[in-house]
Structure formats: structure tokens, C-alpha cells
Chains A and B, each alone.
Chain A
Amino acid sequence: MKRTILALTLSLGVLHSARPEPSNEEVEARKRALELAGAFSNEGFKIRDGNWCGSLKSGTGKVIQVNLYAGNQYWFSAAATDGAKKLEVTVYDEVGAPQTSEPYQEGTTAAAGFSPVASGAYYVKVQELEGEAASFCLLCSYK
């Protein structure tokens, strides 16, 4: 598991696509998200090599589409930098209806455990409920 986290942390700076280089705040947020996701690795969850980082303001959220397979279990783990006080991760189906997920929330970290009953597209929203502007990073683990 330590090897996974080290490898993923080192890979942050070189992740593909034409994205801009991650800021120091995003690197910090990813490190925190990896620590959270690492707990799920102990239960056999594999952390996807990709990540989604950005910035949030209090009371706002950002949404990303993910494609999931029925039968797999997923954890979406998010962390933010210190400006944020409370985060929330919510999973929605392909038409935007909120899905029942297992919530986790502690300070600047939050996660949602989700087992899709149908394969296909879903949406994950990371929302800052309290705090100031902050950077965040979201990771996906599956088993």
C-alpha cells in the first residue's frame, strides 16, 4: 500500500493530458486524499492512477463524470487544503439523481462508498460546505 501511495504521489507531476501543472496546494490536497484512500487500500481497494484536482469556494461544488461497473465497489476520496472546513462527496446517476452511498466526513476530508447496481455513467460532486477558498483533489478506488 505504501508503494502505491508513493508511486501515485510521485506521478502527480507527470499525469497526462494537456492540463496545467498542479499547484502546490493541489499537490497537498492530493497527498491528503491519498492518505484517506490508503485506508481503503488495506481492504483490498485499488487506487486508480488518475486524479481530479481543482479549487472550491465555500458553498460551491464541482462535478465530474465517472464510468462505473456493476459488481465493483468504489470509494471516492476527497481532501482539501486548510481553507476548507467541511467537505462532502455525493454520487449521482446518469440523470443526476442522488444515489445512496456510504458517507465519510472528517474535517478537510470526505468520501463516499458506492456499489452501482447498473454499469454506466455516474457523476461525483465534491462540495465545500464550510470554510474559505481551497484546493481539492478527488481519487477513486475500486475492488
Chain B
Amino acid sequence: MFLLHRTLASGLALLCLTAFAAAEPAALTKEEIAGATRTDDFSIPTPGEFMSALDKTGKLAWKGLYRTAIRTDFTSRPQIALNLGTLIADGYIAIQAKEAQSVRNVGKDIMTLAKPLSVKDKIIERGKSLAEFAEKGQWDEVNEDLEAMQNEAKSTLSENNDADLVVLVTVGGWARGTEAISGYVAEHYTAESAKLLRQPGIVGYLSEKLDALPEKMRDDTSVKRTRSRLNELKTAVSFGRDVTPTVDDVKKIKAIATELIKDIAKKETK
């Protein structure tokens, strides 16, 4: 498709070179940038998209990015939402690894966490088809179903007046994706893959959303810890466009993300 369009575009360019040059778009104004829309489902890429970019840097041993199963007996709804996000990212890792059993295991844990958030009924069919496609090795379909499952879970939260939990699901997914990918890059360092960790727009958006949560939710221990770690991560992933992070820089990102994931999964003791 790119080639076809490139051919067409080249032909048009030859015919209309002068016109194209004259029609070069003007830069965005400060007002346009400040007023630009940002949405959870369009502005923020899925963990799968992040992993797709890393996958292009070489043949990856995705199974090495698995983690041990997390506990699923949380009682705080914000903490459940954060962990649901991390599990969705685990699902993308299992898809990249093309391992049906891991997809099923993650799917089961997602359902367990979805129940106390009252979203299980809406995503249960998606969970079944996810497992079936994984069993058949239809990985593109598994990827589609996981993304749809994530969005259906979020839409159900919104419908249930739990819209504030949506950003926590997104934060959990992004944090787990960043932990896994920075860990891989730290161990198999290349300049190209290290530059993928530059994500100031994403972490900026998520930080603002967390800051805007209702006070009661901000007081939740898991949310407090997440906001603090996210601020650390914000600095670490906001390097310049032309900067290549060193191995030590990447290890620092990995260390902060790992602590964040531990905080998210830590059972509160009262």
C-alpha cells in the first residue's frame, strides 16, 4: 500500500511540484497546540503498539518478559483497576510470545479482577473468544480481542459511573509495558530500541489525569504511590528527541517502573 501510494504521490508530485510547494502547511499555532484534544483511547497507544515497535528491532525472546502471577484478592477498587491494567499488558506480552496457555492464564486473572469492578459480565464473551483464537494460533485476532476487551472494560466502567477508574487501568497497562520493555532493552541494549522509551506525551497526560482524580481516590494508598513513581518516570522518559539514552538511563527507567509495578501489586496491610 505504501508503495502504491508512493507511486501515485510521486506522479502527482511531478505534475504539481510548484503547487505542492506553495501549499505546504503552516506550522501549528501555540493556541492550536494548547487546545489540541487528548483522549485515552486515541492519544494513548496500547501496550501492544509499544511492543510492536520493539519487535521490529530484532527477534525478541518475549517469554523472558513474563512475571510471576500476581495476587488478585485486592479490596481497594483503584488498586484493582491499576492491576487490571498491568494484566492487560501481560496479555500483550503473551500474544507477542504466541503462547496460548499464558493468554488463557492472563485472561482468567483479568476476569477475576473484572468481577469486583462489575465489568466481568461485559467482557466474558471476549475472554472466551480470546482463548479460542489463541488455541488456534490466530494471533492477529487475539490482539484485536484483547484491545477490544480493554476498551469494553473501560467503557463499562464509564457507564457504571466509575470513569475515574479508567485512567488507572491505562496507567497500569502503560507502567507494566514500560517495565517489560525497558527491562528487555537494558539487557539487549541498542540505541534504536532505547529511543523507543521516549514517551513524554503519554506520561504527561497520565500524570495530569491522576492529579485530577477526586480527592478520595487520590488518598488511596496505591494511587498515592503511583502518582509519586509516575513523577519519577516522567523525568526519566522525557529526554530530548535527539538524545539517545545510555544503558544506565534505561536501567534507571526499568528500576523506577519495577518499583511502580511492585507498589501497584502490593497488598495493603491495615
Contacts and interface: CB of A to CB of B under 8 A. Distances in A.
Given A49-B41, A102-B6, A14 B53 contact: no
Interface in A49-104: 49-52, 62-73, 90, 92, 94-98, 102-104
Contacts of A17: 39-41, 154-155, 158, 163, 166
A121 B151 contact: no
Those 5 A-B pairs whose CB atoms lie nearest each other, nearest first: A121-B201, A50-B41, A96-B28, A69-B53, A16-B154
A103 B26 CA distance: 16
B42 A11 contact: no
A65 B1 contact: no
B41 to A, nearest CB: 3
B225 interface: no
Interface in B154-207: 154-159, 163, 166, 192, 195-202, 205
Residues of B in contact with A, size category: 35 or more
A73 B2 CA distance: 10
Interface of chain A, main secondary structure: mixed
Interface of A: 3-4, 7, 11, 14-19, 39-40, 42-43, 45-46, 48-52, 62-73, 90, 92, 94-98, 102-104, 113, 118-121, 123, 125, 138, 140, 142-143
Interface stretch (B62-70, B139-147, B213-221, B227-235): B139-147
Given A3-B141, A17-B155, 5 more contacts: A16-B158, A40-B1, A69-B50, A70-B196, A118-B198
B21 interface: no
B144 A67 contact: no
A67 B29 CA distance: 19
B16 to A, nearest CB: 11
A16 to B, nearest CB: 4
Nearest to B5: A102
B196 A113 contact: no
A71 B33 contact: no
Contact of B42 (A50, A69, A70, A125): A50
Contacts, number: 176
B32 interface: yes
22 contacts: A3-B141, A7-B148, A17-B154, A18-B158, A40-B1, A49-B144, A63-B35, A63-B37, A64-B38, A65-B43, A65-B205, A66-B42, A70-B192, A73-B2, A94-B241, A96-B29, A102-B5, A102-B9, A103-B9, A119-B195, A123-B33, A140-B42
B27 interface: yes
Interface of B: 1-2, 5-6, 9, 24-30, 32-33, 35-46, 49-50, 52-54, 56-57, 140-141, 143-144, 147-148, 150-152, 154-159, 163, 166, 192, 195-202, 205, 241-242
B39 A64 contact: yes
A125 to B, nearest CB: 7
A16 B42 contact: no
Nearest to B204: A121
A113 B53 contact: no
A52 B39 CA distance: 8
Contacts of B197: 119
Given A7-B148, A71-B56, A92 B37 contact: no
A51 B255 CA distance: 34
Nearest to B158: A16
B48 to A, nearest CB: 8
A64 B43 contact: yes
Contacts of B37: 52, 62-65
Contacts of A40: 1
B28 A49 contact: no
B42 A72 contact: no
A83 B104 CA distance: 47
Given A40-B1, A63-B32, A63-B35, A16 B196 contact: no
